Structure 1
Amino acid sequence: MRLLLVPLAFILLVVGLTYALFLLENLRSGHLARMRRQPGGALRPLLRGVSAALAEQILLVGSYPLGWLPPRERRAGGPVVLLVHGLYHNRAAWILFRRRLARAGYANARFFSYSSFTRDFDGLRRELSERILDLAAEGDAPVALIGHSLGGLLLRAAVCDERLRGRAACLLTLGSPHRGSTLAHLALGGLGRSLRPGTPLMRGLAVLREPADLPRLALVSPVDNMVLPAENLLPPPGWEVREVAPMSHVAMLYHPEPAELAVDFLKRSLPTVR
């Protein structure tokens, strides 16, 4: 029983701290005022976010060790979909999302995994570009790209590599801090702290010249507890933006709605799969 108290205390600390900061940062930015003007007000979405955060933290803690197992990528037919996890996570992040993609006909899912403590953004971006090139050559077709949180930023930078012209089919981000996050002031490690608004990394991302013909969709939650304030979820001009039902940052990996929207986006971007 005592062993269970440690992860439970960690979960309560993370959820409590991040939503306390959510209230503070979004009160300052005006996002909470806008939420209050919506039908039903702000309280219900916030409660849904907190409850989702508690559930997703349990799933995260329980599934995280699966990411330490030797990778078993499913080399199925159909388009290749590359999944890139976020900060402090591993490929176990996609355990439910990947199954939902497979049920919709996108079973050829691959991963890009990395350490959040021993790597820097530019090195990861170069490695990710090579991974996309290899996958495109393997299937002789463009690769669909999906990234959660930091994974979405890595993909944004990677697709600007001139060698990837025509090799990426589409780009979907889930809860990515396109303009940084003030929560990154509390991050552990240089990679996490580089996500603070105004850092050289974030200034560089703001002026990227992404391929104009690449379909790009950003999924955002109105109660994301990791990307603060909420306006920092918004990508640059040229992106399609869809707001999902109120859910926490990591819950976007486990809730069915983001996966359903991802499938719809893949069908629009890869019309050969129905």
Structure 2
Amino acid sequence: MSALRLQLWLWLELGLYAYLGQTWFGWTPGRALLAGALFLLALRLGQSLATWGFSARCAEPGELRPRLGQILHEAAASLFTQLLVLPLPSLWMAPDRLQAGRPIVLLVHGYSCNRAVWWLLRRRLEAAGLNVATLNLRPPFGSMGRMVPLVAARIAALRQEQRNTPIILIGHSMGGLVCRSWLARYGAQKGHGVRRLITLASPNSGTALARFGFGQNSREMQPDSLWLQDLRHERPNLPVIALENPLDNFIMPRAHQRLTGADNQRTPPVGHLQLLYDREVAAQLIALCQK
């Protein structure tokens, strides 16, 4: 989602809570603003905790159960990402900085996010000697099919800038589905330079949580959607690695992260957003990109 839209939404939400505090309880403006900020934090925290409850209801026999520390780490990652990173991308993400001769990793973000969500993982990939490219998917709540040309244009621009450098796609969550759709539409064309796709906790067979989301892309991520059924018939013509997070609190059931015909592997067990900050997950991605 665009940073400006997120900023406006947060200010409007905070203003509403402060106004209600003044109107209903007669608080002073300062006290009402403080209470509104605390309520906003509590609401976002509750949303994060609710995903764990819902994932427990959708859990299959033998799945891992989260420990308290893992739930709290995911809650912290969610609050930090939603309230500080996504609304203020210029503080976290400078423009892409590509160097000649290094393999390129194109990072494709997930639902309701923007490129700033990659700020820490980008640093770790670059420290390992990889070029990192990013993009913003738009419209934020439109069909994933409308996002595919943005991926195609970014890949074409990378090929123009770094002609013979191989490209590796990494798509987190919804981003993995957008990349799979790009493969179905453009993968057979020669000269695109993409050597491998890695889906990271992507709902390759949909997620029950999408029924509570907004927008066309959320409806497309429901397990029984026609969009996913059409994509299921497409067979990728290059290597795909599907990374399954065994403790994911967004993809339900968790087995829906697996992909037929792909090299299905597991990540360390952390929350869905915590994947983007976890050092072990970063090391796993670096190893896969350097193969």
Q: Settle same-fold status: TM greater than 0.5.
A: yes
Secondary structure of 1:86 counterpart: coil
For 1:116 and 1:231, locate their aligned partners in 2 and report how far apart those are by CA, in whole Å. 28
Secondary structure in structure 1 of the residue aligned to 2:62: helix
Q: Which residue of 1 aligns with 2:250?
A: 226
Tell me if structure 2 keeps the 8 A contact 1:219–1:258.
Answer: no
Which residue of structure 2 aligns with residue 262 of structure 1? 285
1:115-173 Cα distance to aligned partner (Å, 9 max, x none): 35453211211231232122123211331111110111111111231225652021111
Determine helix, strand or coil for the equivalent of 1:34: coil
CA RMSD, 1 decimal: 2.0
| TM-score, normalised via structure 2 length | 0.80
Q: 1:96 to 1:145 in 2, by over 3 A?
A: same
Which letter does structure 2 place at the counterpart of 1:74? R
Moved more, 62-71 or 247-256: 62-71
User: Is the contact made by 2:142 and 2:215 (CA closer than 8 Å) also made in structure 1?
Assistant: no
Q: Which runs of 5+ in 2 are unaligned?
A: 1-33
Q: Give the alignment's TM-score, normalised by structure 1.
A: 0.85
Secondary structure of the corresponding residue to residue 65 of structure 1? coil
Task: Give yes or no for contact 2:268–2:281 (8 Å, CA) kept in 1.
Answer: no
CA separation of 1:139/1:59 partners in 2, compared to 1, >3 Å: closer, same or farther?
same
Q: Residue 205 in 1 paired to residue 205 in 2?
A: no
Aligned to 2:201: 175
Equivalent in 43, 48, 72 of residue 10 of structure 1: 43
Q: Hey, what's the Cα distance between the residues in 2 that align with 1:126 and 1:220? A: 26
Partner of 1:59: 80
Higher RCO, Cα 8 Å, sep 6+:
1
Deviation at 1:228, TM superposition (A): 0.6
Conserved? CA contact 2:155–2:192, under 8 Å: no
- Match of residue 38 from structure 1: none
Q: How does 1:233-248 map to 2 (within 5 A)?
A: 233-237=257-261, 239-248=262-271
State the percentage of identical aligned residues. Answer: 29
The structural deviation recorded for 1:99 is 0.5
Map of 1:113-132 to 2, 5 A cutoff? 113-115=136-138, 117=140, 119-132=142-155
User: Deviation at 1:178?
Assistant: 0.3
Structure 1: tracts of 5 or more residues without a match: 36-41, 269-274
Aligned residues: 252
* Rounded Cα–Cα distance in structure 1 between residues aligned with 2:236 and 2:191: 10
**Pairing 1:131-210 to 2, within 5 Å after superposition:** 131-140=154-163, 141-160=165-184, 161=186, 162-163=188-189, 167-210=193-236
Greater Rg by CA: 2
Is the CA contact (8 Å cut-off) linking 2:248 and 2:271 kept in structure 1? yes
Conserved 8 A contact 2:115-2:136: yes
Query: Within 1, Cα distance between the matches of 2:250 and 2:224?
Result: 17
